[in-house]
Amino acid sequence: MRILLADDHELVRETIAAFIENEDGFTVVQSSDLTGVEKALVAHDPFDLVLLDYEMPGMNGLNGLQKIMDAVRPRPVALISGSASKSIAEEALEMGAAGFLPKTVAAKSLVNAIRFMAMGEKYAPIDFMTQEEEETAHPLKDVLTERELQVLSGLTRGLANKEIAREIDLQEVTIKLHVKTLCRKLEAKNRTHAAMIAKEAGLF
């Protein structure tokens, strides 16, 4: 069984590869980023399973998963991660990933899951997929009022003050004041910079 394992953390990657290769009939090719994965797909015979680390360079969220799934279809591609949330795992499975493996999974379970996915089955650990996700408040929400967040939402969508005023039923002059306050609180140079800060922080 031929596995392509991609993870930018060398120690983690080599440890997982050692677990897999300890089993009879497994061969592992390793890569540290998405570019390396693409090169390996060209350089080697088809793999029975491709395992991609969600956070490694080149992945760009789930875009990298989609790219590799398109390249190797119908062969299985799965995600492995130490920090991705349950919602990311669910989205990956909905996209057609063969499975999701948290890096906390036990070595024996890991090998069994890989065997399972390589045979065309879907895998995701039940305890991980059924856990309740904690609602974490975004730090920017602590410094902004509800009205300021509404105005900031408009800025991130490229709306003019007049359009934001119409949308949330306020006077345009009031929107201008909110924008000024927003820029001060976010330490933004202007409205565009404020929108950029909000987007980079993942607020919208």
Q: Which residue ranges in the chain fall short of pLDDT 50?
A: 134-135
The pLDDT, as a whole number, for residue 137 is: 53
DSSP 1-62: -EEEEE-S-HHHHHHHHHHHHTSTT-EEEEESSHHHHHHHHHHSSPPSEEEEETTSTT-TTT
- 71-121: per-residue pLDDT in tens? 999 999 999 988 778 888 999 999 999 999 988 888 888 889 999 999 999
- The model carries a pTM of 0.64
The pLDDT, as a whole number, for residue 107 is: 80
The pLDDT, as a whole number, for residue 79 is: 95
Amino acid identity of residue 46, one-letter, is P
Closest CA to 32 of 51, 57, 49: 57
The pLDDT, as a whole number, for residue 12 is: 87
The pLDDT, as a whole number, for residue 135 is: 47
